[in-house]
Each structure stands twice: as structure tokens, then as C-alpha cells.
Amino acid sequence: IGTPIEVGYALEELGFSVVSCAGNHALDFGTEAIDRTAALFSGAGILTPGIQPTSDGDFRPYALLEENGIRCAFLGFTETTNGHRLPEDTPWVLHTLDDEAQVRQALSDARAAADLVVVFVHWGTEYAAEPDENQLRWAKVFADSGADVVLGTHPHVLQSWDWVAVDGGRETLVYYSLGNCISAQTDPACRLGGLAWFTAAMEGGVC
């Protein structure tokens, strides 16, 4: 959203299956840009958790993808919107962290529908080397609500990763910030990016 359309074509050619689109710049160019982005990726068979076209008519909390017999649910959220308000008539176009109860319900619904639940989240303090208190709190919310993996962006620098424990002995893998992948920012810390690598496997019917 807000980038040249050729970037979308390149992601399609590279074989991406999922592109997280919920971020603080998602509403910079209005809902028309969200509609164009959703249409482009939908036409290429690419899931876009975190945004929905205005024509959807209702909030769809997650996107489903099945790979190697594993049902994967992907959710996307953004903590900020650069001061832009969600449109009153189509509030589902961008998924935010404004309503914690709604976020928890979205995770619960995804957990019931899938073997693996992955959350993409745009959060945190820009240029901070460590996660802030709000990231730590939301990581626990995601973990408690059923997320298996959390992939964070927005700070523009690499931050730590951790396992967040929940009741029952389950743990959620959280990458607080993967830094920048491609950016015009010149600060040395902003020129570093990370790739999250993890393996999902079914054991006894449980992922």
C-alpha cells in the first residue's frame, strides 16, 4: 500500500503466498489504495491478512492457507494509523489493535479453524533496540489467545525474539521486530533486517 504497483508484481513472481499489509501507512492514501492492493494480491492468489476491500461488508479476522496438510491461519494488526481514522462505514478495511476484545476473539476464532496461527503485527517504538512495554503486553495477549507465532515490524531496527509461555505449558514464538528488509534509511541499525525461520510440524494431530 503506497508503494509502486511493480512491487506487488515482483512479490507475485517471487512466489509469495502471504503478504502482511496492516501497517501505520495503510490509510495514507485512503481506502482506494487498500482496495487496489487487495485486488492485486487476490488476483494473484496471495493472502493479505490485516486488510480487506471495502466491498467485503464485514470483518474477516483471518485468512486461511493449507500447506502439507497443515491448516494455517494468518492475522494482521497495526498499532497505529498515522492519525487516520478508520472509515465509519467500512471499519473492517484495516485491522488494528484498538479493540482488545475483538483481537482476542479473532485469535480464538482462528485457533478453532486452524492447526497453526500466525500473527503479523505492526507495533512498537521506532528505532528502539528492545521491545517496549506495549509490545510485551500484546505478545502475552496474542499468546494467551492462541497464537503460535508472532512476527513484528515497525521499529525499523532488529529487536529480540523470545518464547512467551502460557498456561498449560504451551509457548508462543515471538519475533518483536525483524528490522528493515529494503529501505532508504541510512542509519546503520536501519540497514539491517532479519528473516524469521521456523518449522511447523504435526505431532499426534497437534501442530
- DSSP string for residues in the chain: --S-HHHHHHHHHHT-SB----STTTTTTHHHHHHHHHHHHHHTT-B-TTB--GGG-S----EEEEETTEEEEEEEEES--TTPPPPSS-GGGB-BSS-HHHHHHHHHHHHHH-SEEEEEEE-S-TT-SS--HHHHHHHHHHHHTT-SEEEEESSSSB--EEEEE-TTS-EEEEE--BB-SS----SGGGG-B---------BTTB-
pLDDT at 112 over 90: yes
Q: Which residue has the higher pLDDT, 104 or 207?
A: 104
Across 21-45, average pLDDT: 95
| DSSP bridge pairs for 48 | none
Q: Which residue has the cell 482488545?
A: 100
* Cα–Cα distance list, 148 to 3, 14, 21, 111 (Å): 30, 26, 20, 9
Across 73-78, average pLDDT: 98
Phi, psi of 143 (to 5 degrees): -65, -50
Q: How far apart are CA 97 and CA 99, in angstroms?
A: 6
Q: How far apart are CA 143 and CA 165, in angstroms?
A: 7
Average pLDDT along the chain: 93
pLDDT level of residue 205 (50, 70, 90 thresholds): low
